[in-house]
Amino acid sequence: MNKKTSTIALCILCAIFTLNSCKNAAEKVEETTEGKETEKTVFASDVIPFFDHWKLILGDGSNVGIANNFENKDYFYTTNDGKNNWVVFKTPNGGNTHGTSNNTRTELAQTKKWYPKTADDKLTATLKVMNVSATGDARVAASHAVVVGQIHSADKHENEPLKIFYKKFPGHTKGSVFWHYEINTAGDDNSGRWDFSSAVWGHDFSVVGDTENTYPEEPKDGIALGEEFSYEVVVKDGIMTLKFTSEGHETKTFTKNLIESEYTTKADIPEQTQKLFVPIGQDGVERKEAYAGEGCFFKLGAYNQTNGKSPKVNRNWCSGAETHDGDVQKQYADGNYAEVWFKTGSISVSDNAVSNEGYFSKNDKVK
């Protein structure tokens, strides 16, 4: 073989080698790309497959509807704590809200409503609260609190026969779990409505600070951030039954009649309410039939109770907390938000339930 032939052969071999190298490299990139493409996003509906029963309201006030195969990295997504997948509900102190509320929420609202008198409906959840607002006036009962489950009326005043709270003051290791019953106010004026709070573990709603930045004693039997607890809500034949469980804590059960009021006269107003609500003019009475005849529905998620409104407006519900003028990322950066993780959940809906679309069509339009 002469020199010219050898040179040609060598060039051919180099070309073949280069082509193969490029091909192999391309295959590796393709494999890498394919590997990334095949990484499956774990949606909330993969973790708790019950989303056909709910519409999802986000912390920006929007209704995204039924949230199968949906995520939003600011408000609603999944995470893994090394043992389990969890559904994350996150919402700031300040921003756009849904309906007439002063508070932001990332929360599921049931697509059907049921009537307490004929109900046979049930909601369960296992969760842990990961954050409550870092700021807020300690004298305001709603500061540093989040609602993690509700029963809401879709009709008349749209009041709430159940709100399940978690609250923890800054500097405390343990927080409190308590639940509220809100009266379904008699008459057409709902301004006199009030709540009655029952402690599950720790304090109830009425335990507040003496000054803006001083806090009451830490509850001895409280629940820490990141500590799991479960609730079960059953409404059957007009009676609401609640059950709360958590490892290392006493199981607590409660019952409440939703169709026959115990607060029909001023003399019936409990001492706790006399202290919290009556001084600010919320001293109404309840209709005899309570929530009978009104469509009610479940809610589940993170309904942040801490907001930026001045306590001068309402010393129970207006926290005066930091909102950074509604800048969500700034609020997330310095702890001014609520975050709740749910591991399991279930809902049982009776045959008597009907569409709740009227509630959404009305409240989605409110700005």
**362: DSSP letter:** H
- Dump the DSSP string for 174-195: EEEEEEEEE--BSSS--TT--E
The rounded distance, in Å, linking the Cα atoms of 146 and 163 is: 10
Phi, psi values for residue 339, rounded to 5°: -140, 125
pLDDT, one tens digit per residue, over 245-303 is 999 999 999 999 999 999 999 999 999 999 999 999 999 999 999 999 999 999 999 99
DSSP state letters, 7-47: HHHHHHHHHHHHHHHHHHHHHHHHHHHHHHHTPPP--HHHH
Residue in the block written with tokens 């927080």: 175
Burial classification of residue 337, based on how many CB atoms lie within 10 Å of its CB (0-12 exposed, 13-18 middle, 19 or more buried): buried
% of the chain exceeding 90 in pLDDT? 87
Tell me the per-residue pLDDT of 45-62, one tens digit each, with 9 for 90 and over.
999 999 999 999 999 999
User: In the predicted model, what is the mean pLDDT of the chain?
Assistant: 91
pTM of the predicted model, to two decimals? 0.89
Count of CB atoms situated within 10 Å of the CB of 49? 12
**How high is the pLDDT of residue 258?**
98
The secondary structure of 50-118 as a DSSP string is -GGGEEEE-TTS-EEES-TT--BTTTEEEEE-SS-EEEEEEEESSS--STT-SS-EEEEEESEEB-GGG
> What's the pLDDT score for residue 9?
44
In this prediction, residue 100 has a pLDDT band, given cuts at 50, 70 and 90, of confident
- The answer, yes or no, to whether residue 15 has pLDDT greater than 60, is no
Residue 8 has pLDDT above 60, yes or no: no
Banded model confidence at residue 367, pLDDT cuts 50, 70, 90 = low
Q: At 192, give phi and psi (nearest 5°).
A: -90, 10
More confident residue, 232 or 16: 232
Q: How many helices (H) and strands (E) does the chain have?
A: 5, 18
Q: Which residues contact 51 (CB under 8 A, 6 or more apart)?
A: 44, 45, 66, 67, 68, 108
